[in-house]
C-alpha cells in the first residue's frame, strides 16, 4: 500500500505543508521512520525526536508544527488522525490463504501436525515440533525447532516463536491490541496494530493467555520467560529473559519488565512503566509507577475516589517519618 500525502491529508482532514505528491509506504515511530514513512507526535515530550526524525512526513497539531523539519500534516486531533490512517496500512490475513493441514504437510520435515489445523502461506515450522489439533497458524509465522503447540492455539499473521517453546491450549499470539482514539463527539475509533509478536527460545505460555501484537514495533517475550494461564500481555510490552508471571496478571501497553523478575498472580501493571531486573511483585498488587531497584514489592490500596486516593497515598509514603517524629516528641515530653 502506498498513499500520496495529498491522499492522506484528505483522509485525515489535514492541512498539508510540503510535497503533496510524495508517496508514503508505511507508518513508523519518530525515531525509526525513514523518508518513505509517516509518523506522528502527540505531545511536547516528543519535541526532540520530532526535530531529529527522518520521517517523510509527520502528523502534528499547532503546538508542535514549528518543530517539524519535514512535510507536515496539521490536524486538531493527532491521535484520531493516526488511528484513521493505521487502517490503510494494516495487512489483514487473507482467509483464502488458510488451508487444511493436508494441503500443507508436505512442506515440513519431521513435524507432527494433528487433524483440524489450518495453516497459512509462508509458514516456517522447525523440525521435531508438534502442532495440536484445531490450531490456526496464519501467514508468515515462524515456529522454531523442538517446540510444542497444544490444541486450539492461534498464532496470528507474522508472529515468531523460538525453539523449545511450549504454548498451551487456547492461547492466542498476535491478537489485536486495545487502542482507541476519541473524536469530538466522544465516539471511539479503533487503532489498527501494525507490529507483531516476537517470542524467544525456551518460553512457556499458559492456557488461554493472550499476547497482543505491537502498535508499530513488536511485542517481545525474551528467552526463558515462563507465563502462567490466563495472563494478558498488551501491545508493545517487553518482558526480559527468565522472568516468570503467574496467572490472571494483566500488563498494560508499552511496559518494559526486566530480567529474572517474578510477578505474582492477579497483579495489575499499568502502561508505559519500566520495571528493573530482579524485581518480585507480590500477588494481587497494583504497579502504577516505575520500579528502579531490585527488591520485593507489595501494593494494596482499597478502591476509593481518585482524589481521595492521592491524599491517602501521600500520607502512606510519609508514615515512617511521622512515626519517627512522634517518638522524638514523646521522648522530649518525658
Are residue 100 and residue 21 in the same domain, yes or no?
A: no
Q: What percent of the chain has pLDDT over 70?
A: 99
Please report which confidence band the pLDDT of residue 176 belongs to, taking 50, 70 and 90 as the band edges: very high
Overall size of the chain counted in residues: 334
The arithmetic mean of pLDDT across residues 140-151, rounded, is: 98
Which of 189, 235, 272, 306 is the catalytic position?
235
Of 89, 105, 128, the one marking the end of a domain is: 89
User: What is the CATH classification number for the domain harbouring 227?
Assistant: 2.160.10.10
* C-alpha distance from residue 273 to each of 16, 157, 169, 276 (Å): 35, 27, 30, 10
Residue 81, burial from CB neighbour count under 10 angstroms (0-12, 13-18, 19+): buried
**Predicted local distance difference test score (pLDDT) of residue 303:** 62
pLDDT digits (tens, 9 = 90+) for 267-323: 999 999 999 999 999 999 999 999 999 999 998 776 678 888 788 878 888 888 888
Are residue 255 and residue 204 in the same domain, yes or no?
A: yes
| SS3 (DSSP) at 254 | coil
- In the chain, the N- to C-terminal Cα span, in Å, equals 81
Are residue 193 and residue 142 in the same domain, yes or no?
A: yes
The C-alpha atoms of residue 23 and residue 114 are separated, in whole angstroms, by: 45
Are residue 175 and residue 279 in the same domain, yes or no?
A: yes
Of 37, 70, 89, the one marking the end of a domain is: 89
Give residues with Cβ within 8 angstroms of 186, minimum separation 6.
none
The C-alpha atoms of residue 241 and residue 277 are separated, in whole angstroms, by: 9
Cell for 232? 494478558
Angle between helices 78-89 and 5-12 (to 10 degrees): 120
pTM: predicted TM-score of the whole model, two decimal places: 0.89
The C-alpha atoms of residue 203 and residue 212 are separated, in whole angstroms, by: 16
Cell for 146? 523442538
Are residue 165 and residue 213 in the same domain, yes or no?
A: yes
- The number of folded domains in the chain is 3
Tally Cβ neighbours within 10 Å of residue 318: 11
Are residue 76 and residue 108 in the same domain, yes or no?
A: no
Are residue 198 and residue 318 in the same domain, yes or no?
A: no
Q: Is 235 a catalytic site residue?
A: yes
Strand bridging mode 262-263 / 244-245: parallel
User: What is the CATH classification number for the domain harbouring 69?
Assistant: 3.40.1390.10
Report phi then psi at 300, rounded to 5.
-130, 120
Lowest-pLDDT choice from 120-134, 203-217, 270-284, 296-310: 296-310
In this model, does residue 55 exceed pLDDT 70? yes
Are residue 17 and residue 151 in the same domain, yes or no?
A: no
List the alpha helices (DSSP H) in the chain. 5-12, 47-52, 78-89, 101-104, 306-333
Are residue 142 and residue 260 in the same domain, yes or no?
A: yes
Range of the domain at 41: 3-89
Are residue 81 and residue 189 in the same domain, yes or no?
A: no
Among the listed residues 212, 210, 199, 226, the one whose alpha carbon sits nearest the alpha carbon of residue 172: 210
Are residue 103 and residue 190 in the same domain, yes or no?
A: yes
Give residues with Cβ within 8 angstroms of 12, minimum separation 6.
59, 73, 75, 81, 84, 85
Q: Are 106 and 86 in contact (CB under 8 A)?
A: no
Are residue 235 and residue 283 in the same domain, yes or no?
A: yes
In this model, does residue 26 exceed pLDDT 70? yes
**Predicted local distance difference test score (pLDDT) of residue 302:** 62
Of 37, 54, 89, the one marking the end of a domain is: 89
In this model, does residue 62 exceed pLDDT 70? yes
Amino acid at each position: 500500500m502506498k498513499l500520496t500525502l495529498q491522499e492522506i491529508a484528505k483522509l485525515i482532514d489535514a492541512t498539508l505543508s510540503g510535497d503533496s505528491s510524495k508517496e508514503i509506504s508505511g507508518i513508523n515511530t519518530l525515531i525509526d521512520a525513514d523518508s518513505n514513512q509517516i509518523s506522528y507526535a502527540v505531545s511536547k515530550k516528543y519535541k526532540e525526536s520530532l526535530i531529529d526524525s527522518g520521517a517523510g512526513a509527520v502528523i502534528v497539531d499547532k503546538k508542535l508544527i514549528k518543530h517539524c523539519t519535514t512535510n507536515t500534516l496539521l490536524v486538531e486531533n493527532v491521535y484520531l488522525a493516526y488511528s484513521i490512517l493505521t487502517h490503510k496500512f494494516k495487512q489483514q490475513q487473507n482467509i483464502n490463504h488458510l488451508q487444511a493441514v493436508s494441503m500443507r504437510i508436505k512442506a515440513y520435515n519431521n513435524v507432527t501436525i494433528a487433524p483440524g489445523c489450518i495453516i497459512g502461506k509462508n509458514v516456517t515450522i522447525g523440525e521435531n515440533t508438534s502442532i495440536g489439533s484445531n490450531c490456526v497458524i496464519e501467514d508468515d509465522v515462524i515456529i522454531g525447532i523442538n517446540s510444542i503447540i497444544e490444541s486450539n492455539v492461534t498464532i496470528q499473521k507474522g508472529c515468531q516463536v523460538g525453539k523449545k517453546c511450549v504454548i498451551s491450549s487456547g492461547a492466542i499470539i498476535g491478537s489485536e491490541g486495545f487502542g482507541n482514539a476519541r473524536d469530538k463527539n466522544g465516539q471511539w475509533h479503533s487503532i489498527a496494530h501494525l507490529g507483531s509478536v516476537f517470542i524467544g527460545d525456551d518460553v512457556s505460555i499458559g492456557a488461554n493467555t493472550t499476547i497482543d501484537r505491537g502498535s508499530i514495533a513488536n511485542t517481545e517475550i525474551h528467552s526463558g520467560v515462563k507465563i502462567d494461564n490466563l495472563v494478558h500481555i498488551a501491545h508493545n510490552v517487553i518482558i526480559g529473559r527468565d522472568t516468570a508471571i503467574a496467572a490472571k496478571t494483566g500488563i498494560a501497553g508499552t511496559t518494559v519488565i526486566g530480567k529474572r523478575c517474578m510477578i505474582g498472580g492477579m497483579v495489575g501493571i499499568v502502561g508505559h512503566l519500566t520495571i528493573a531486573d530482579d524485581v518480585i511483585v507480590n500477588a494481587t498488587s497494583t504497579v502504577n509507577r516505575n520500579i528502579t531497584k531490585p527488591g520485593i514489592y507489595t501494593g494494596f490500596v482499597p478502591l476509593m475516589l481518585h482524589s481521595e486516593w492521592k491524599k491517602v497515598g501521600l500520607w502512606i509514603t510519609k508514615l515512617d517519618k511521622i512515626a519517627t517524629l512522634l517518638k522524638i516528641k514523646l521522648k522530649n515530653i518525658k
